[in-house]
A and B are shown apart, each in its own frame.
Chain A
Amino acid sequence: MTSNEDSPSFDSVQSTVRDEPQPTPPISTAAAVAVSAGAWLIPGLGHILLRRWVRGLIFMACVVAMFIMGLAMNGKLYGAEFEIPLQIFALIANLGAGLPYLIAKYMGLGIGVMTSESYDYGTTFLWVAGLLNFLIVLDAFDIAKGRKP
């Protein structure tokens, strides 16, 4: 036998549900992949397309700022040169930044000045900018599929 005090009132349940962030209705896998591709190419675009404006703009600012700081610190952007096979991991990390990487490569930036004292930091910043964007892309995919609010 249960009393009314044992179970939450209808008002409190309604309030709890209303306060929780509501997940996006899941979209098709093809559309989610398209959103993810956009999120990879332009950091933060995936969240913006999913109407997470603030989150998307903050992501964009973070990734682009880290990428620019990496370039400014004379970091190296890796290309498709495979004399040292393990460099492919550095390339994958760099590629994560998307369009900023492609633009910087096209402009001949990121040659990497090894004599600069900030070379290692700059290279790490460039890697981490790309790796963070991979996480952001996965987050956008999860939101698009309705797995998280």
Chain B
Amino acid sequence: MSLSHIDALVAFALIVSTVFALITKNEPREQLRYGVFVFLSFLAVAIAVGWIMYPLPL
């Protein structure tokens, strides 16, 4: 199975945010809102950190 970085990131974020939302919230609307928030946060933080690291000589 060959996934690009972004594919793996999206799959990871989707699964983890789903579990987090179902564990931490009880109402379906709250679960949806929190799950979307966590999912987008995963993507935003990963992309932001990626760009911060981009100019570093790693």
Chain A residues with a Cβ under 8 A of chain B:
21, 55, 58-59, 62-63, 65-66, 69, 72-73, 117-118, 121, 124-125, 128, 132, 135-136, 139, 148-149
Q: Which of B3, B15, B23, B26 sits near A73, CB closer than 8 Å?
A: B3
Question: What DSSP secondary structure best describes chain B's contact surface?
Answer: helix
Bound: A10/B18 CA distance, A:
37
Contact of A139 among B8, B18, B23 (CB under 8 A): B23
New contact pairs (7) apart from A118-B1, A149-B26, CB-CB < 8 Å:
A59-B22, A62-B18, A66-B12, A125-B8, A125-B12, A135-B23, A148-B26
Tell me whether B16 and A128 are in contact (CB under 8 A).
Answer: yes
A65 touching B19, Cβ below 8 Å: no
Q: Which residues of B contact A (CB under 8 A)?
A: 1-3, 8, 11-12, 15-16, 18-19, 22-23, 26-27
| A121/B18 contact (C-beta < 8 A), A69-B11, A128-B12, A136-B23 known | no
Residues on A with C-beta less than 8 A from B16 are 128, 132
B27: chain A residues at CB < 8 Å are 21
A69 to B14, alpha carbons, bound, how many Å?
13
Residues of B within 8 A of A66 (CB): 11-12, 15
A148 to B18, CA, bound (A): 18
17 A-B residue pairs with Cβ-Cβ distance under 8 Å, sorted by A, are: A58-B18, A58-B22, A62-B19, A63-B19, A65-B15, A66-B12, A69-B1, A69-B11, A73-B8, A117-B2, A118-B1, A118-B3, A128-B12, A128-B16, A132-B19, A135-B19, A148-B26
- A121 engages B3 (CB within 8 Å): yes
Q: For the complex formed, measure the closest distance between the CB of B57 and the CB atoms of chain A, giving whole angstroms.
A: 21
Chain A residues whose CB sits within 8 angstroms of the CB of B1 once the complex forms: 69, 72-73, 118
Chain A nearest Cβ from B39, distance in angstroms: 13
Residues in B whose Cβ lies below 8 Å from that of A132: 15-16, 19
